[in-house]
Amino acid sequence: MTRKFLLSAIFSVSLLVTKAQTYNNPILAGFYPDPSICRVGNDYYITTSTFAYFPGLPIFHSTDLVNWKQIGNAMDRQEQLDQTNAGVSRGLFAPTIRYNKGTFYILCTLIDKKGNFIITAKDPKGPWSNPIWLPEVKGIDPSIDFVDDKAYVVYNNDAPDNKPLYSGHRTIRMYEFDINAMKVVGKEILLVNGGTDLSKKPIWIEAPHLFKKDGWFYLICAEGGTGYNHSEVVFRSKSVDGPYIPYEKNPILTQRHLDKQRKNPVTTTGHADFVETPDGKWYAVFLACRPYGDDIYNTGRETFLLPVEWKDGWPHILEGNEEVPYTLPVPLPALTKKVNNPFGGNVSFKDDFNSKKFDDRYLFLRNPEMDAYSLTAKSGFLQLSLRPQTATERKSPSFLGSRQHNLKGYAATSMHFTPASEKEKAGLMIFQSENNYYFLCKSIENGSPVVQLYRSPSKGKKDGELLASQPLTSSKSLYLKIEAKASTYAFYFAEKNNKWKLLKDGVDASFLSTKVAGGFVGSLFALYGTSNGEPTTSVATYDWFQYKGNDDGLKK
């Protein structure tokens, strides 16, 4: 009996006999890559990469592995995080979250800056400490793991003697870690050279995690690069410092060998982390993508959840031609009375700006100048001060972002804005990087108000490309909406609520895809305004922001 048949049978019986709840993958939809998970009693916590966005490293909490709530961000103070001049896909790479004897730990990499660091907290909601830098730990993807009353840091590093045998030749290395002194001790130990089989020139062995089960030390890692050939592999040893033997049936998770023409594919699977439930069940969180074309996706790398089955002392996630399922029975049915995950499925989010603090899900670019944003200057509104910085620059423009969670859906807002010159523009954008975005905005032409749609400037050029423009009859409220249709975007405006007018349809979405734009991030809808290099006192006032996903039909 294949595991695919077994999963299907369990799923069918659960529905027929118990009418069991089911959950949807991904559990964190949209740009939530490199997930790491830990359990404390009956509570589960996840964090993910955020790259050059602020605040960094979201913290999610669940009691049943399927209903998730964001409870904070681990790096939410400017003093913790220097992202000056960072490209959007630089910054914070691949955190690991762990718990030990009353303290939470996160290890992470701040790329291009000081490298690897550790932060701690007594409460996962925060506050988290300032970073303690680990200069001995080179490379990326550090994980702190507690085994047999000792702590170890495992991580990706260069080839031995920094002499790679081929492009992508990397290693997994380890130090013992003193949690009292908060530093590594002893000698660096080489655990894996190259990957599962050095003779086959495996690339980018990374994202290691170490744990012990039934007398064996297990090392799970990603391999194949964090693109279409991504996978998860496993090694084990009777000693913590090796030798680590690869599983002969590796990889334990990948989708790279499946038909690219299959319906509603999930691809790029890997970078997993395991968790064990109190009743002895095992689950893996991992990143994966939902393309709408040949390796084309705008939502970025997302967080999925699948059961882990143990066979003959080895973990299995998917085998053979099994596809990542979009729907599965909930892991803990006794705890899950209702599946209502605000970060999975068709995500819906509405902010009327009635709070005095920003919702934890919002992202700013790099280190924001917070005096450009106010939720209190006008009660029930967001006031966004235009500044000279633009989204094209590696600076901190007036930018408040929220992820595109679904292939299909829309973001909309209501805005009051009176531009003082043709250089001043404010509105709603869909943003992937400094070089790849669309901007739907209000401005003026020849002294009269207009709604405009721009594409980001071509390389070497300062000004964006104007794709569409229409005059406005009023200088009062302007409603803006961007609809995602998987492979295209449509841009709307209205001068009266719900009286939408199409400005431009069929706009190429692949321009914002990872395949075209590059990098490691997904797309964000953002409230954004700029004076394009000129000093100004102009302010854009937003009444509300709404996101609504519509991925119905992407279930199997």
Q: Which residues are catalytic?
A: 34, 206
- Structure token digits, residue 374: 């106010």
What phi-psi label fits residue 215: left (phi over 0), alpha (psi between -120 and 50 degrees) or beta?
left
Cα atoms found within 13 Å of the Cα of residue 172, Cβ hemisphere only: 32
> Do the Cβ atoms of 277 and 283 come closer than 8 Å?
yes
Question: Residue 486 in contact with residue 495, Cβ under 8 Å?
Answer: no
φ, ψ dihedrals at 310, nearest 5° = -100, 130
How would you class 135 by CB atoms within 10 Å of its CB: exposed for 0-12, middle for 13-18, buried for 19 or more?
exposed
Which amino acid, residue 125? K
Q: Which residues contact 504 (CB under 8 A, 6 or more apart)?
A: 453, 467, 468, 490, 491
Pairwise CA distance, residues 303 & 254, whole Å: 15
Residue 221: left if φ>0, alpha if ψ -120 to 50, beta else—which one? beta
β 171-178/183-193 pair status: antiparallel
In angstroms, rounded to a whole number, what is the distance separating the alpha carbons of residues 23 and 49? 23
According to DSSP, residue 160 is labeled G
> What's the full length of the chain, in residues?
556
Q: What is the DSSP letter of 316?
A: E
- Closest-CA residue to 223 (of 260, 190, 187, 253): 253
Residue 270 to residues 284, 299, 385, 511, Cα–Cα distance (Å): 10, 17, 41, 25
Question: Residue 442: what are its φ and ψ, rounded to 5°?
Answer: -105, 140
Return contacts of 262-266, CB within 8 angstroms, 24+ apart: 262/323, 263/556, 264/290, 264/326, 264/553, 264/554, 264/555, 264/556, 265/290, 265/291, 265/323, 266/25, 266/290, 266/304, 266/323, 266/324, 266/326
Place of tokens 């404390």: 40
Q: Please give the Cα distance from 32 to 344 (Å, whole number).
A: 11
Q: Check the CA dihedral 508-49-156-147 and report its sign.
A: negative
SS3 state of residue 355: coil
d(CA 113, CA 53): 15
In angstroms and rounded to an integer, the radius of gyration of the C-alpha atoms of the chain is: 24
